[in-house]
Structure 1
Amino acid sequence: MPATGCRSGSNGVRPDPCLPCHQGPAACRFDSGRIPVVRAKPRRSPFVSLGRPACTRICLMSVRSAAQQGGARSGRLLVVRPLDSRDVDQAVAEMVRVLTPHESADWRRPAGALDWSCWETAAHVAHDLLAYAGQLAALPDSAYLPFDLVVRDDASPRDLLRIATGAGRLLSTALAASGPSLRAWHWGPTDPSGFAALGVNETLVHTHDITQGLGIRWHPPESLCSAVLARLFPNAPDGDPVQGLLWATGRTDLPGHPRLTSWISKAAVG
């Protein structure tokens, strides 16, 4: 059913600003059947929908393919290479590595600046990885597949990390089986490398959100940030790719540049 705005879950959790909610520069509408949504049952609420994009936080950015960027930024070398299944595996393994020692912490805390809890944010990561895997497996050309991930309310942080691991492996398996000419829908025809970049980006930035919420000192791996910036945010300022990715996704300030309150990545290649 078409909607003219973004709705929150039953506990007031606002949507994630990671996903685009429009199909053109002047549009701010979405079809609920076209948006990947995780259905989670957090401990403090019987039911909540996660994954719907925030219309007020999204803007179109001029994005070119990594190949058009030349491959270098002043200050640091920005490696331009196609992301693949190994990058997804590395990102998910890093998420599990850094969060596993903190499974006994209170994951009901807000995840950094998000309105979601750490629990909800981890469930959202698993959902998006699964949604990307589904796109690569089924190859839809005009929408996301209409299925949801259900996470039971008794799922522990350890369970959430296992679910994210499973979803990540499904995505990496789909990537490994996909040739470079394959296209599936993510706001346009998107190649496997684009879906790999999306999966790595979601995993890194939301792991950062969770570590902020749990009080863990951690930064995403520089090599992965560099590759994601080249593919999804090639117009980000030169410099440290870790800070660049956090800035490009509205999570930190960057000297000489205003903090972003709206942003979008564009993985589609045509």
Structure 2
Amino acid sequence: MEAKALEFLKTTIEAATPGERIVTTDREPRHVYYVLQPDGKLERVESTGAPDAHQAADLDTLVRAALETHDKDRRAPVIWYGRTQVVAVMQPGEVASDVCRVALTPSPQLARLADWDRAGKASPSQAELVVLLRTLFTGCVPDDFLPAVRGVKSTKKMDADSQISHGRVSLGKSMIAEMSGVAAIPERVSFMVPVFAQAAVEIHATIRVEVEPDAQNERFNLYVIPGDIEHAFAHAEEVIAERLTRLLGESPIPVYRGTP
């Protein structure tokens, strides 16, 4: 039976793929293949299995996996961390090492603020800003900010005065657009948001946002303070490093910032 199977493989190679020296078959496991030798014989080869790539749910699990893998007679695992992932390389120095990682993605709140930062500003209407504060940014801003935004009233009236001030801008010689209630709107609001979407890696950071009522367009211009997004990620990386160091205790497993 085995001879017939090998002869079938040989015939398949010669007929279907002239010049091809390697063939696989569904009769063998995925890591097994055959090499056609110059004398026409087939050599069965078992390749090294693919390295394990584990996905840990949190930092505690990743550290436990690294500690349990550590063999005193071999080089200790290495842990790398950054803003997109934390990776434990179990057999550093080997061509294909097993790894265990925790993937990190920005939280929806931080991602939205980063979008505003890249665009230069955001200009939601009053209704849009209220919805954002009630949903995406609930619990992220001071308690009095949402009522203050709701309390703003926009009006346009005839007036010879062309004065321009906070929440008030001239539309011409006699038309004035005005937002009443803007005195309760702070010029700067601190958004305390989670850095990562993963609840198991809970880290918060403060993003400062300048608020400028736009009376003419009946909107609020929001400007993220430059550098705050980057500082949020840097802060998160510092917290991750501290947590890893604490979890590892006296272990010789090193922790590096970057990617393996």
Q: Name the TM-score class by shorter chain.
A: under 0.3
Relative contact order: is structure 1 or structure 2 higher (C-alpha 8 Å, sep ≥ 6)?
A: 1
TM-score of the aligned structures, taking structure 2 as reference length: 0.18
Structure 1 or 2, whichever has the larger Rg, is 2
TM-score of the aligned structures, taking structure 1 as reference length: 0.17
Structure ranking higher in strand proportion: 2
